[in-house]
């Protein structure tokens, strides 16, 4: 089954404790992206990747890191999480190195930073 998976789905952590949210897709998509969703602000793009070893900042990259060593995986790293990073996070992927294609979204990761 074609899908985007994220792990964990729910995470409660404390300020400053490094964490990684994994994202994996099995559709051989070049493009992958991370978004956060907050009440009243909607979805905002954090980072995206057009292909392996190619990443770029979205609108809200501060406090986050990403890497794209393999085509299927695009982990989101919070090296020193803070309470303002409490949010619902989505990973997405899409075929071809262009945004003129349908995006496939993961199920979301709800992160709480205390």
Residue selected from 6, 24, 25, 31 as contacting other proteins according to rule CB under 8 A: 31
Pick one of 29, 46, 48, 81: the residue that binds other proteins (CB under 8 A): 48
Q: Is residue 89 at the binding interface for other proteins, with CB under 8 A as the rule?
A: no
Q: How far apart are CA 4 and CA 92, in angstroms?
A: 7
Site size for other proteins, by CB under 8 A?
29
Q: How far apart are CA 60 and CA 20, in angstroms?
A: 17
Q: Is 74 in the site for other proteins (CB under 8 A)?
A: no
Structure-block tokens of residue 97: 């190195």
| Cα gap 66→56, rounded to integer Å | 9
E strand map for 4-71? 4-7, 10-13, 19-25, 31-38, 42-51, 54-57, 65-66
Binding to other proteins by residue 84, rule CB under 8 A?
no
- Region from 21-29, 66-74, 78-86, 102-110 binding other proteins, contact rule CB under 8 A: 102-110
Question: Considering only residues 56, 70, 82, 96, which one is a binding residue for other proteins as defined by CB under 8 A?
Answer: 56
């Amino acid at each position: 089954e074609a899908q985007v998976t994220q792990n964990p789905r729910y995470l409660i952590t404390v300020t400053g404790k490094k964490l990684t949210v994994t994202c994996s897709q099995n559709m051989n998509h070049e493009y992958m992206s991370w978004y956060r969703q907050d009440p009243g602000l909607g979805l905002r793009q954090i980072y995206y990747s057009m292909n392996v070893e190619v990443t770029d900042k979205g609108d809200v990259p501060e406090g986050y890191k990403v890497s794209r060593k393999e085509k299927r995986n695009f982990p989101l790293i919070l090296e020193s999480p803070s309470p303002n990073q409490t949010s619902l996070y989505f990973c997405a992927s899409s075929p071809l190195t262009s945004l003129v294609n349908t995006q496939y979204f993961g199920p979301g990761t709800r992160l709480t930073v205390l």
